[in-house]
Amino acid sequence: MKYDVTIRTDKDGVAIILGALTDKHHILQSVVPVQEQVREQRRSSKRKIPGDRGVDLVMRTLSAENRVFSYGDIAREFVAHGYQAKSASPALSTLVSKGKVRRVGNGLFALPGTVVKLGAG
């Protein structure tokens, strides 16, 4: 019984393997160089603005109107721009920790300087 064997090696390994095939029982059929495939980095194909970042989208959303926004408002903007809704949370956390956005209540956010009216009436 005979076998076809495929071995992938670097150029140093080729010489070693060819050296081992020196008797009449082993016949080298071919040596073919292989083009390595480079994996592309995956990026969201849904983004409407290439290179747009979550923190930029939060700032643009909050700057659109001088009011308090709920987490849901901001998450809906993320979905509208091709992001996952849950991507709003890390972007908001980053901006709150840098002082660029204020957390004004449970799930409520505004830009510094936005007048916040608390309570009814």
60 within some domain? yes
* pLDDT at residue 40 greater than cutoff 80: no
Q: Which residue has the tokens 């996952």?
A: 84
* Structural domain total, the chain: 1
Tell me, yes or no, whether 17 lies in a domain: no
Q: Is residue 105 part of a domain?
A: yes
* 95/73 Cα distance (integer angstroms): 16
Report the pLDDT value the prediction gives residue 121, as an integer from 0 to 100: 47
106 in a domain, yes or no? yes
CATH number at residue 75: 1.10.10
- For residue range 41-51, what is the model confidence (pLDDT) as tens digits? 666 555 555 55
Residue 4 contacts by C-beta under 8 Å, 6 or more apart in sequence?
29
Average pLDDT over residues 103-111: 91
Residue 27 lies in a domain: no
- pLDDT given for residue 46 in this prediction: 54
Domain enclosing residue 70, as ranges: 54-110
